[in-house]
Structure 1
């Protein structure tokens, strides 16, 4: 699969001591062609990776000589896809008077964005420990809204904002929500 939008500098000489010849960008097939190169040593250096891919600035040397006059020489460069940083969040629904008493059956909507302008991501229900976990959330701002209270408790639809970021990648972020008995 060719990748569009990669940018390369072409140098004449050997890596580290070359002279810039030209700049190129891959097209929708992931390729570009350079014509009319004089015999000699050259190398490409990627200066900008395609969107969503890691930059690989390793010099790619090649030589133009007798064989390359009639048959185009091909230099292949692979890019590694960037892994999106992700994190997790745990929600604990508990009795207002006893944080150790998890409440089963509370339903929550998870939104991405800020309260009032978020986009629905998913729906969740607390288990018999009063918790649930949501994994693989991209970095960003989120919030939970309770849509159904556990039996015998008042609904608290206050948005509960949180952010998934660097610190939350390895340790799940915990959102605690208390409910008042009816």
Structure 2
């Protein structure tokens, strides 16, 4: 509701009550203005009603939620099940376009704005965590299987085997940390590791 609507509402409800309600709604609008202007995480977290109202406003900005609109284009968001639409606040468009995952959706200003804000807030969160050198961040949806594969590959890159040229039984016996044994292809405590048997030599 805008100021004109509040003025009309005062004809039905006491003006003092309407003024109080107008001030409360103005405070929520200032939250949105601050978020868009400062481009960083708010100092005070939003309550759930403010978050839902903001997401709903973004949803209203997508063409599939325009009043009286019947989308027939190939890029039009459509949801067959109303329960699914309610669960996702009416947001039916994806992110990006062919060849550019960060591109704006031509018929989804709200979804595009949400994607941009998500990237900006994620970057600010990483800056707060100490990663000051980051300049650009993009947040992408990731399925569970792909997330597990990416995590395991990252962990695997940290556990590189020791080359056989630098491996010796004396090093294993004197080391107090876990040592990677190339012959066994497993991590073994150095205290229980035995020297590897000599490799057979050709006659």
TM-score (norm: length of structure 2): 0.23
TM-score (norm: length of structure 1): 0.25
Larger radius of gyration: 2
Higher helix proportion (structure 1 or 2): 2
Greater relative CO (CA pairs within 8 A, separation 6+): 1
Higher strand proportion (structure 1 or 2): 1
